[in-house]
Amino acid sequence: MNTIVRDSYNAIPLHTLPESTRNQIRKIVHDVQNADKIDEHGGWEFGIQKLTRRRSRALNWDLYGFGRDPHTGQFLIVIQVREWTEGRRWNTVRKSYFLLGYNEDGTAFAHPVSANVVHAAIRRNDAPQAVIDAVQSWIFGGDYGRMIRQGDVALVPLKRRPVGTKGQRRRLAILEGSHELRANIIAEVDGKLYAKDPTMIHIPGTHSTVEGQGWYRIVVGRRARFWDFATPTID
């Protein structure tokens, strides 16, 4: 399909997409709703809910991007989750944006991303893949296509040994409580972590082991702020 239709709010109406694509998108949203690793304070209960006899709340979602991860080929989507609450004097609307997809073990994930990045990507290039590329590069703070990723942690290749790493001999680090990093040298300089010839193992096994040759900077993916009516999965 050469042309993607967007509405006045930059969302992509699902009915304009092929049925097979619609089914993939709906399945990811459904699987995230039912994911075991959703934060215990999260919601993801779409539809209209009664708050009181006279007041209601509705949670809905819209599609803003879809495409493939350049490394794994996994199908990914970006959605806006929107809460509308009926007030006594006026109504309120709150929005969060998420990158949704599947981990290597088949479990679904939801990662909060920046609304500004989503809308800026659409202004530059309204192709659905452009939104996916933009939010992944935003998460890891660079050209995502060059990185090696394991869940929320990425290895960014460097052309030369970082200044200040000589004399450091650490060989093991645990990142985010679940990523075991082993390397010939692990060094920390000015709050940044570097590794030579790294191997990274995910302790629960949700993500495949990754490794690289040479020097890398280790980046923990950032998360946008989000409302508690729909919260991220836990890596």
Q: Tell me the average pLDDT of the chain.
A: 91
Q: Which residues pair with 85 in a beta bridge?
A: 57, 92
The answer, yes or no, to whether residue 133 has pLDDT greater than 90, is: yes
Quick check: 165 and 42 in contact, CB under 8 A? no
Task: State the first-to-last Cα distance of the chain, in angstroms, to the nearest integer.
Answer: 34
CA atoms of 109 and 35, how far apart (whole Å): 8
Q: Classify residue 177 by burial, with Cβ atoms within 10 Å: 0-12, 13-18, 19+.
A: exposed
Quick check: 122 and 131 in contact, CB under 8 A? yes
- Of the pLDDT bands very low, low, confident and very high (cuts 50, 70, 90), residue 37 is low
- Of the pLDDT bands very low, low, confident and very high (cuts 50, 70, 90), residue 191 is very high
Q: Classify residue 93 by burial, with Cβ atoms within 10 Å: 0-12, 13-18, 19+.
A: exposed
Distances (CA, A) of 34 to 61, 109, 171: 16, 10, 38
% of the chain surpassing 70 pLDDT: 95
Q: Provide the pLDDT for residue 234.
A: 80
CA atoms of 218 and 194, how far apart (whole Å): 6
- Of the pLDDT bands very low, low, confident and very high (cuts 50, 70, 90), residue 104 is confident
